[in-house]
Structure 1
């Protein structure tokens, strides 16, 4: 008999995501065996990411109203469809486990329905006869097929065209790729690769910078103690390159104006050889604690965590360089944040743009004459990136835009801006602009 434990756990968590708005990344716990927990996490992340496409397929093979299904049964069918179509699990295993889960959570009638729907879907899949959305509205059809809301897909089509939009949507549905920042820099990379090999982790140097590694999985690293020792840190290389755009130097005063959880502040301090000052702000006491912990793990003395609201914070002196990694839609990190695509709205994008403007103006107050302000996001939206920089420069004529050329690889330089795109560069999405204040 199939063991439905992981599926039952996944169904329970998926119901919480929908009913309570629970964040997928915060649902994992240590109360279950590692194998059960790993499978449940995969089901929850995969179904949350692909649910619009899965629901379309279920509706094609269920003779009834999908919206009227028991909530538990709908999740069971989503998980079974995800395994058959996206994971290519052997049909007998995927269907049998789904049936056992229906028996465990519901009743024999639900088990029979599960069996019928999934077997019909599998036959069509193996025959190459799965239906495609065909409403005549390209944005809507792509949104269903790649499981996104329609409104951002329409915007991406207008900006990028069909080919690039399809590529971006596909990249956003891939399992997240992970990179590690190596604390000891490029010289320490060979030794860390050997340590990771001993843990059964494949690692190779990043193509974008010599102190990052691409790894095939994270769990053995999380269990190993390497993070606690500060040997490595989990950080996407695209985010790390924002610190290259900042280009902090030893003995300078740096402000990381929205620093939690501290990855960029720590990386800046490491590149400064722990000489100077990095003031790391966050409005949350708990997040300030995360910054302090990250600095301790890396043995850094110059990171100064500060609990403060940037819009009202006052400093005795101005800073040589200020980094504003602004709150944003996160559209560049959809592969790692399975639920994020369902939490955004056009109205929310407008609200974020207003916040980003306010934070940029607040950050600018802390830049010394001749100093540098770097504005960055993990968004791919022009409204949060290029448009915010243009609006800032129109308000603040004491700042000018300067090029990131020479600070990041040429492939990531877009005119004078830093831009990483998931479907082009295989990284998270990231954006940064250097804004130089006049010497006065």
Structure 2
């Protein structure tokens, strides 16, 4: 198979580019895809191999280091990623026979190295295939942090935070859920069409369509490319958005004709949803730090047929000089760990130091946002992450330091656990089947 037509080779190149240049997996994958001549089936294989290998990198390295006589740090990046790719197929991709995974990896080792590297690849992966049912990890009872980090492939600092917050059992369940492939969800644009019309349209194209678990305009689509590649997306009939993210606009309870400030708006998913819920009546001021990202807000608004969004460049952590409004949304910059099913590389890019810096930024934005809320108005704080430090701790800090605000109830149909206060919700993938997300609502007295 020629290089441009070999999904395994392109996956190795994408992974190596990601390691050497940084950035995002999606971008590294796109760089290889645009140069390829792959059929749709091979594109799907390339995507699964790249995302799966990145997702489980720590686990794969643990296994490979067990059976490799050579330290992984001394292996050429292309050859190491080829080994990871082969190990991923042997351990986690049942539809690929182990012998085929080994043979393909050996062929690529010749391409990226020489006969010696091919023999080394063959020896290591054959041992992985022979011993895959006998792999052992540090004992859970004695070393829970190492056991979970290696077995489920997460940085130690993340596991440490979750163990302290959620305990051992829930941390393991959360890790399992975040290692599953993501579902594709769409938010129907009710300004142009209806849930029933979009359902019928996508079903007519052979897709399996199911209603959202909570939000009324959300649909789950299988296979996902049925929605992503359909012309109705470009026509603005729907918007790709996870269900948990779609709850934020509902939490704000914006009404037609009101003024709304969306202080961290790009790329515009929440702002356009708010406009939809407001029946495209009123004014939404969408702020973001980067002008380039604000263009995405306006592009999405145009595609969805929305005319009430005004994009304004501004740093939400500094005074913006805004008159009080009845509704203010802070969809804050965060570590984004709740989106790991869609962006598995984020677990390797974020650090505990970043989380601590983000908490300071989130507080600064809320401190300013509090000044823009009219008396009796609502302020919603939301993140797409799953750290207590960025979520409930920040919300509690806000209430403690801004006594003119009190907790405000979220819609009664929101996901809730018994005993959880009605003013916030922490959405977790293993509990709710959605991306991790946090929403808290406050009312100004």
Q: TM-score range by the shorter chain?
A: over 0.9
Q: Residues 376 and 430 of structure 1 are in contact (CA less than 8 Å); yes or no, is this contact kept in structure 2?
A: yes
**Quick check: 1:199–1:221 contact (8 Å CA) kept in 2?**
no
Q: Which residue of 2 aligns with 1:144?
A: 150
Q: Does 1:81 align with 2:82?
A: no
Q: Which residue of 1 aligns with 2:208?
A: 202
Q: Are the equivalent residues in 2 in contact too, given 1:258–1:326 (CA < 8 A)?
A: yes
Query: What is the CA–CA distance in structure 2 between the aligned matches of 1:107 and 1:212, rounded to whole Å?
Result: 52
Separation (CA, whole Å) in 2 of partners of 1:418 and 1:412 = 12
Q: Is 318-327 or 403-412 further displaced after alignment? A: 403-412
8 Å Cα contact 1:16-1:22 kept in structure 2: no
1:111-126 counterparts in 2 under 5 A?
A: 111-125=118-132
Helix, strand or coil at the partner of 1:151: helix
Give 1:157's aligned residue: 163
Q: Is structure 2 residue 137 aligned with structure 1 residue 132?
A: yes
- In structure 1, the residue matched to 2:310 is 304
Partner of 2:18: 17
Q: 2:229 aligns with which of 211, 219, 223?
A: 223
SS at 1:342's partner residue? helix
For these two proteins, the number of residue pairs brought into alignment is: 436
Q: Deviations over 1:109-162 (max 9, x none)?
A: 21222122112211222xx32233348421111101111111121221122121
Q: 1:316 to 1:209 in 2, by over 3 A?
A: closer
2:435 aligned partner:
428
Structure 1's 314 and 157: CA in aligned 2 closer, same or farther, altered over 3 A? closer
Q: For residues 32-431 of structure 1, what are the structure 2 equivalents within 5 Å?
A: 32=36, 33-35=38-40, 36-88=42-94, 89-125=96-132, 128-134=133-139, 136-184=142-190, 188-315=194-321, 317-406=323-412, 408-411=414-417, 414-416=420-422, 417-431=424-438
Counterpart-to-counterpart distance in 1, 2:192 and 2:323? 34
Distance 1:301 1:309 in 2: 24
Q: Deviations over 1:301-343 (max 9, x none)?
A: 1111112222345345321100000011112111111111111
Structure 1 stretch 132-141 or stretch 347-356: which is displaced more? Answer: 132-141
Residues 1:31 and 2:31 aligned together: no
SS in 2 for 1:414: coil
C-alpha spacing 1:380/1:184, structure 2 compared with 1 (3 Å): same
Q: CA separation of 1:412/1:221 partners in 2, compared to 1, >3 Å: closer, same or farther? A: farther
Residue 412 of structure 1 contacts residue 419 of structure 1 at CA under 8 Å; is this kept in 2?
A: no
TM-score by length of 2: 0.93
Per-residue displacement from partner, 1:8-42 (whole Å, max 9, x unpaired)?
Answer: 21112111211221210222142222444433322
Contact 1:185 1:210 in 2 (8 A): no
Unaligned runs of 5+ in 2: none
SS of match in other structure, 1:280: strand
Report the Cα distance in structure 2 between the residues aligned to 1:31 and 1:421, rounded to whole angstroms. 37
* CA distance in structure 1 between the partners assigned to 2:232 and 2:119 by the alignment: 48
Moved more, 71-80 or 97-106: 97-106
The separation in 2 between residues aligned to 1:405 and 1:210, in whole angstroms, is 13
Distance change >3 Å, CA 399–CA 34, structure 1 → 2: farther
Query: Where do 5+ consecutive residues of structure 1 fail to align?
Result: none
**Distance of 2:376 and 2:320 partners within structure 1:** 20
TM (normalized to structure 1)?
Answer: 0.94
CA contact 2:262–2:287 (8 Å) conserved in 1: yes
Compared with structure 1, are the counterparts of its residues 84 and 239 closer, same or farther at alpha carbon in structure 2 (3 Å cutoff)? Answer: same
Tell me the secondary structure at the aligned position of residue 426 of structure 2.
Answer: strand
Distance in 1 separating the partners of 2:360 and 2:169 = 31
SS at 2:377 equivalent: strand
Q: 1:327 to 1:82 in 2, by over 3 A?
A: same
CA RMSD of aligned residues (A): 2.0
**3-state SS, counterpart of residue 365 of structure 1:** helix
